[in-house]
């Protein structure tokens, strides 16, 4: 009678340490830079060590480990490193809540615990290449890169409106503002402040970013479209509208439709626009200030929502339309953003949906200047957004939109009233956060020389 095979029993406390020791002794996780084998770099996003690792962390890192092991078996020299994205506000706040611990102490404790847990899970990292972004041996290279960008004009300081949490005393990203309140302190209203910030000039690379999307032929089409729209390249003209009663002062706007200039019947400034106070008359000042204060508490996402009514207030000031000399009222409205374009628009309600809605709500003039293929519409029930023949446009009447854009841009440049321009939805990257636990910006500030 044959004996039945003995059933093996999996005892993780015995088997796991055994094989982890064998792997470590053999150095199977180490990459040889001089190896003649084909190379494979396997990097899974580093965690924030502001608390304990979770099952979600292990899910990601196990998948990366499976890929690394498979590539080794396929004959690749695999570099599978690990590190810790260790700077940031969450770690700083967590440390402060634990008896005013120094963030570094809290962070290193979490790193030690997380590293122990990852090793227990049997994930094969080359720990000799471990990096911690909050340590000087790492962030010295962040500082080196920053100084290179500063020397080459790609890092600069500028005043900009920011979301400010009065509790954490730090700048918040738009997505960290929820219903006008701080994401970490739901009972605290976020303030809008104008602060001097550090920026990286990523807009210098906008065209290259856009052009090189064509090289990413293995990316999903919808992702490339999203990136194209995010960069948001547009061509048009910058046009100066003189401010009535303020000699030498102009409201500069950017438009992709110079062919509609004759249809501008009012102007709109963003609540944060620097000219708001100057163009506002005493009669309107209190109401404008109240509106501006309310708008500054709203996020850009809220202000741009297509589901809300377009609100605004008149300033009592006027601008002069440079193409026909017409005096048009200046309004303030929160659907215009100071961070996009020039922070001011010429409103052409006959040929822009937002302007049409605003003009209808506030009883402002609507003048048709682009006739659709079937001829002028006269009394408009909605904005006509397409191209067509110019009407009510003086010397440019009868031109089609394409030709009119070129002719009007030529005329503006000859008169010194405007120029052709290219704009992007992409904005320069605001990098400063006014917090302690972050890579120190390696610049000394002198009270006498800046």
Token pair 């659709």 in the structure block, residue:
372
- My answer on whether 298 and 154 are in the same domain is no
- My answer on whether 173 and 242 are in the same domain is no
Last residue of a domain, one of 85, 112, 134: 134
Integer Cα distance of 275 and 332 in angstroms? 10
pLDDT for residue 450? 64
- My answer on whether 52 and 161 are in the same domain is no
Instruction: For 73-100, give the DSSP string.
Output: HTT-EEE---EE---SHHHHHHHHTTTS
Q: Is the pTM of this model over 0.75?
A: yes
**Which residue has better confidence, 413 or 10?**
413
Per-residue pLDDT averaged across 153-174, rounded? 86
Per-residue pLDDT averaged across 280-295, rounded? 95
Within a domain: 195: yes
Token pair 């020791």 in the structure block, residue:
21
Per-residue pLDDT tens over the stretch 198-241: 999 999 999 999 999 999 999 999 999 999 999 999 999 999 99
pLDDT band (50, 70, 90) for residue 374: confident
* End-to-end CA gap in the chain: 94
Rounded to an integer, what is the distance from CA 244 to the centroid of its chain? Answer: 35
Tell me which residue of 431, 448, 263 sits closest to 349, measured CA to CA.
263
- The upper half-sphere exposure of residue 446, i.e. CA atoms within 13 Å in the direction of its Cβ, equals 3
Q: Say if residue 161's pLDDT is above 60.
A: yes
- My answer on whether 239 and 376 are in the same domain is yes
- My answer on whether 294 and 369 are in the same domain is yes
Specify the pairing of strand 266-269 against strand 327-333. Answer: parallel
pLDDT for residue 309? 82
Q: The CATH number of the domain where 104 resides is what?
A: 3.40.50.620
Within a domain: 449: no
pLDDT for residue 163? 85
pLDDT for residue 405? 97
pLDDT for residue 257? 97
Cβ neighbours of residue 393 under 8 Å, at least 6 residues apart? 259, 261, 262, 369, 399, 404
Contact by Cβ (8 Å): 236, 421: yes
pLDDT for residue 5? 60
Range of the domain at 100: 12-134
Integer Cα distance of 66 and 142 in angstroms? 31
Within a domain: 433: no
Within a domain: 71: yes
- My answer on whether 148 and 101 are in the same domain is no
Within a domain: 216: no
- Within 124-273, residue ranges assigned H as helices are 136-151, 206-211, 221-231
Last residue of a domain, one of 85, 117, 134: 134
- My answer on whether 243 and 319 are in the same domain is yes
Last residue of a domain, one of 134, 159, 185: 134
Surface-to-core class of residue 162, CB atoms within 10 Å of its CB (0-12 exposed, 13-18 middle, 19+ buried):
buried
Angle at which helices 103-120 and 89-96 cross, to 10°:
110
Per-residue pLDDT averaged across 323-335, rounded? 96
172, β-bridge pairs: 163
Within a domain: 450: no
Integer Cα distance of 22 and 362 in angstroms? 77
Within a domain: 156: yes
Q: Say if residue 194's pLDDT is above 90.
A: no
- My answer on whether 271 and 357 are in the same domain is yes
Specify the pairing of strand 83-84 against strand 131-132. Answer: parallel
The CA–CA distances, whole Å, from 382 to 146, 252, 294, 379, 399 equal: 50, 27, 30, 9, 23
pLDDT for residue 1? 52
Neighbours of 41 (CB within 10 A): 13
Per-residue pLDDT tens over the stretch 54-85: 999 999 999 999 999 999 999 999 999 999 99
- My answer on whether 259 and 397 are in the same domain is yes
Cβ neighbours of residue 332 under 8 Å, at least 6 residues apart? 268, 269, 270, 271, 273, 276, 288, 291, 292, 312, 313, 315
- My answer on whether 329 and 239 are in the same domain is yes
Within a domain: 263: yes
Rounded to an integer, what is the distance from CA 160 to the centroid of its chain? Answer: 14
- My answer on whether 161 and 243 are in the same domain is no
Element of type H or E holding 193 = strand 191-200
Q: Helix or strand or coil: residue 194? A: strand
DSSP-assigned letter for residue 148: H
What are 100-103's contacts with CB under 8 Å, separation 24+? 103/134, 103/436, 103/437
pLDDT for residue 118? 94
pLDDT band (50, 70, 90) for residue 4: low
What tokens were used for 411? Answer: 């005329």
Query: How many structural domains does the chain have?
Result: 3
- My answer on whether 280 and 343 are in the same domain is yes
Percent of the chain with pLDDT over 70: 97
């Amino acid at each position: 009678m044959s004996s039945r095979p003995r059933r093996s029993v999996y005892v993780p406390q015995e088997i796991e340490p055994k094989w982890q020791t064998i792997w470590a002794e053999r150095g199977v996780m180490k990459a040889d830079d001089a190896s003649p084998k084909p190379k494979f770099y396997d990097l899974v996003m580093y965690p924030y060590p502001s608390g304990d690792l979770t099952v979600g962390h292990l899910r990601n890192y196990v998948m990366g480990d499976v890929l690394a092991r498979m590539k080794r078996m396929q004959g690749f020299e695999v570099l599978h490193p690990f590190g810790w994205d260790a700077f940031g506000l969450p770690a700083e706040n967590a440390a402060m809540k634990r008896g005013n611990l120094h963030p570094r102490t809290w962070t290193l404790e979490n790193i030690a615990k997380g590293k122990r847990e990852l090793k227990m899970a049997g994930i094969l990292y080359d720990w000799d290449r471990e990096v911690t972004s909050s340590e000087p041996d790492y962030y010295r290279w962040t500082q080196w890169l920053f100084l290179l960008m500063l020397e080459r004009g790609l890092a600069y300081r500028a005043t900009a409106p920011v979301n400010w949490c009065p509790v954490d005393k730090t700048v918040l990203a738009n997505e960290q503002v929820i219903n006008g309140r701080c994401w970490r302190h739901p009972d605290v209203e976020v303030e809008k402040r104008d602060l001097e910030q550090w920026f990286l000039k990523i807009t210098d690379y906008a065209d290259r970013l856009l052009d090189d999307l064509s090289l990413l032929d293995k990316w999903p089409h919808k992702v490339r479209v999203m990136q194209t729209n995010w960069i948001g390249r547009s061509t048009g003209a910058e046009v100066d509208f003189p401010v009535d009663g303020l000699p030498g002062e102009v409201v500069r706007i950017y438009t992709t439709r110079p062919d509609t200039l004759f249809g501008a019947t009012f102007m709109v400034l963003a609540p944060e626009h620097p000219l708001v106070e100057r163009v506002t008359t005493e009669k309107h000042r209190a109401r404008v200030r109240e509106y501006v204060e309310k708008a500054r508490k709203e996020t850009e996402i809220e202000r741009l929502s297509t589901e809300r009514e377009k609100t605004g207030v008149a300033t009592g000031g006027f601008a002069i339309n440079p193409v026909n000399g017409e005096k048009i009222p200046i309004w303030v409205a929160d659907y215009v953003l100071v961070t996009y374009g020039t922070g001011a628009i010429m409103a052409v309600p006959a040929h822009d949906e937002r302007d049409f809605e605003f003009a209808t709500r506030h009883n402002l003039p609507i003048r048709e200047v682009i006739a659709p293929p079937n001829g002028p519409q006269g009394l408009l029930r909605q904005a006509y957004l397409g191209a067509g023949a110019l009407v009510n446009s003086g010397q440019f009447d009868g031109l089609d939109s394409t030709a009119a854009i070129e002719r009007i841009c030529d005329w503006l440049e000859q008169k010194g009233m405007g120029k052709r321009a290219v704009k992007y939805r992409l904005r320069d990257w605001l990098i400063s956060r006014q917090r302690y636990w972050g890579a120190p910006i390696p610049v000394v500030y002198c009270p006498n020389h800046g």
